[in-house]
């Protein structure tokens, strides 16, 4: 079977048609690429990394505080002990925490021995007084016989000496009686001052030697805060400086500096500052002696440049703020912070007073980020 032969004209038409298809396809592809390039060139501007608010530093009168730590202690603690020797405790009338008045009976000792000694001393005094009366009568008679010569001078002097000796024995017996009455009185242990019982070692039935500690008393219930202050900061305080003391149980008390320790610890360079604390009612959970406490001394106020706390970001141990530039891009600036206030932080160095800073959202930004400001501060 023979294949049909194509004419030259037909072949030429087929070639032209094929070429036209190729050209059209190429033009279409070039148009698509050009369109894509133009689309990229006309794309929307870059998006903001974060929507933020802005703030400006504020110049305020900031309180100047000196923070210190220390312990709460008794203003003065009295030791109440036994003055009698070898007496038995029969009654203990107070316990730890009780408030007592000066002269109040804290405990009593057995009185039998004391009463017997008083009776014996009283009898000895009566005997001495009788002997003294007899000696005085003999001396008086001897004086009347001085001129008569019935008695020798030696005998008269003897009667007079006996009279003086009898008087001395009366005084001695009277002193012995007073001592025994005092010993009997000491069987009642009395509070030396108003205050609070802080310690008790008295036990009913114990035979207590003289000088044994039985109670400890916080005089007048007064407490003080012994603040530990470095020697370099000591010069900033004065007698009467106010202090706000926060005890470990959360109770806050306002006190004032009473005095300073006369020496500084040569090892730690720490000095003690004694701060008087007022009495707090039991309903207010008063602090206790021995508690740890933190306090702030009020040193007045000074001018300070402050920013909100959320504007300051801490990274790698340093503090930074983000300044908003004219093109809405931020610059990370290292700053030096000072006092911390309830809602703001003092900026000591690093920014100008008219800088525009990021407020909320600073912690999510990096240097050079584009931001959208929703409440722009005046620039």
104-149, pLDDT tens digit by residue? 999 999 988 888 989 999 999 999 999 888 888 888 877 777 767 6
CA–CA distance, 332 with 321 (Å, rounded to integer): 6
R_g of the chain computed on alpha carbons: 50
Q: What is the CATH number of domain 67-75+222-301?
A: 2.40.30.170
For residues 339-345, give the mean pLDDT.
Answer: 86
What percentage of the chain carries pLDDT values higher than 90? 41
> Which residues does 74 contact at the CB level (< 8 Å), separation at least 6?
198, 218, 219, 222, 223, 224, 289
CATH class of the structural domain 112-183: mainly alpha
Q: Are 321 and 57 in contact (CB under 8 A)?
A: no
Dihedral class, residue 161 (left if φ above 0, else alpha if ψ from -120 to 50, else beta): alpha
A 10 A CB-CB count for 336 gives 12
| DSSP secondary structure letter of residue 175 | H
Domain map of the chain by residue range? 51-62+302-373, 67-75+222-301, 77-110+187-221, 112-183
Given a cut of 80, is residue 191 above it in pLDDT? yes
Centroid of chain to Cα 285: 15
The angle at the Cα of 108, spanning 185 to 282, to the nearest 5 degrees, equals 115
For residues 160-188, give the mean pLDDT.
Answer: 90
Of 112, 250, 124, 100, nearest to 187 by C-alpha is 112
For residues 171-191, give the mean pLDDT.
Answer: 91
The yes or no reply on domain 77-110+187-221 and CATH 2.40.50.100 is: yes
Of 256, 255, 247, 254, nearest to 287 by C-alpha is 247
CA–CA distance, 3 with 152 (Å, rounded to integer): 201
CA–CA distance, 125 with 9 (Å, rounded to integer): 172
Q: What is the CATH number of domain 51-62+302-373?
A: 2.40.420.20
Q: What is the per-residue pLDDT for 257? A: 95
Q: What is the per-residue pLDDT for 2? A: 47
Mean pLDDT of the chain: 85
* DSSP 3-state of 317: coil
Per-residue pLDDT of 248-280, as tens digits, reads: 888 899 999 999 999 999 999 999 999 999 887
């Amino acid at each position: 079977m023979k294949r049909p032969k194509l004419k030259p004209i037909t072949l030429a038409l087929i070639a032209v048609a094929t070429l036209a298809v190729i050209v059209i396809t190429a033009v279409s592809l070039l148009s698509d690429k050009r369109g894509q390039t133009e689309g990229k060139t006309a794309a929307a501007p870059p998006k903001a990394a974060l929507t933020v608010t802005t703030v400006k530093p504020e110049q305020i009168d900031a309180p100047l505080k000196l923070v210190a730590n220390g312990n709460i202690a008794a203003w003065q603690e009295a030791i109440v002990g036994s003055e009698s020797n070898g007496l038995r405790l029969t009654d203990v009338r107070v316990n730890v925490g009780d408030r007592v008045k000066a002269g109040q009976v804290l405990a009593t000792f057995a009185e039998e021995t004391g009463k017997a000694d008083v009776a014996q001393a009283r009898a000895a005094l009566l005997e001495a007084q009788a002997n003294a009366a007899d000696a005085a009568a003999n001396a008086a008679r001897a004086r009347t016989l001085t001129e008569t010569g019935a008695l020798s001078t030696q005998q008269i002097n003897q009667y007079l000496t006996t009279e003086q000796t009898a008087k001395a024995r009366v005084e001695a017996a009277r002193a012995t009686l007073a001592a025994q009455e005092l010993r009997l009185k000491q069987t009642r242990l009395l509070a030396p001052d108003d205050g609070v019982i802080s310690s008790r070692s008295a036990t009913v039935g114990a035979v207590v030697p003289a000088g044994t500690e039985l109670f400890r008393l916080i005089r007048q219930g007064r407490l003080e805060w012994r603040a530990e202050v470095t020697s370099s900061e000591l010069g900033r305080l004065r007698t009467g400086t106010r202090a706000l003391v926060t005890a470990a149980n959360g109770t806050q008390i306002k006190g004032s500096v009473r005095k300073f320790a006369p020496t500084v610890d040569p090892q730690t360079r720490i000095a003690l500052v004694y701060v008087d604390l007022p009495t707090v009612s039991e309903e207010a959970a008063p602090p206790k002696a021995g508690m740890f406490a933190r306090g702030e001394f009020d040193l007045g106020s000074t001018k300070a440049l402050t920013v909100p706390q959320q504007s300051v970001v801490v990274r790698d141990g340093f503090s930074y703020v983000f300044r908003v530039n004219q093109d809405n891009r931020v610059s990370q600036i290292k700053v030096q912070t000072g006092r911390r206030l309830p809602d703001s932080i003092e900026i000591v160095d690093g920014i100008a007073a008219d800088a525009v800073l990021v407020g909320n959202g600073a912690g999510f930004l990096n240097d050079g980020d584009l931001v959208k400001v929703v409440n722009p501060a005046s620039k």
